Amino acid sequence: MTDKSSLRIFNPPTIHKPMGYSHVAEVTGGKLVYVSGQVAFDLQGNLIGRDDFAAQVRQVFANLAAALEAVGGDFRNVIKLNYYCVDTVDPAVALPAIRAVRDDHLNTDAPPASTFVVIRKLARPEFLIEVEAVAVL
């Protein structure tokens, strides 16, 4: 976001210091953009990374980037990410894989608010992760 006065991402001193996300994203102006949950499909609708969690995460973030670009934004505009990861993926693998890709895209000094949910399954059995975003332009 270019107008810093309309967005404040921060961690209140009354809540523990998080690792890799912020507790609060306050918006006082701008246009909200909601990006649907993205899965690991390429432009032709082919699944990228069958049984490869890291490959799916890379494709999901590529899709998020394309969606943000379509509205004139980028990851600097993201204020909230919601992650949905299937329970067959080992958290010891999932979190480092996500952080590696996420940190290449986001401002790690003021990362967006986020939620990480482990679920039994997604809409299709080959999906290992789905990520949705909220951005402010």
Domain boundaries, the chain: 4-136
CA atoms of 86 and 7, how far apart (whole Å): 32
Q: Is the pLDDT of residue 117 over 90?
A: yes
Predicted pLDDT at 2: 46
In the chain, what percentage of residues exceed pLDDT 70?
Answer: 96
Q: What is the mean pLDDT of residues 22-33?
A: 91
**What whole-number percentage of the chain has pLDDT above 90?**
85
Q: Give which of 63, 48, 73 is closest to 132, Cα–Cα.
A: 63
CATH of domain 4-136: 3.30.1330.40
pTM score: 0.89
- In one-letter notation, the amino acid at residue 81 is L
Token pair of 129, please? 């992760």
With vertex at residue 65, the alpha carbon angle to CA 62 and CA 69, rounded to the nearest 5 degrees, is: 140
Q: What is the mean pLDDT of residues 60-87?
A: 97
Model pLDDT, residue 14: 95
| pLDDT recorded at residue 122 | 98
Task: Give the torsion through C-alpha atoms of 66, 50, 105, 28, to 10 deg.
Answer: 60
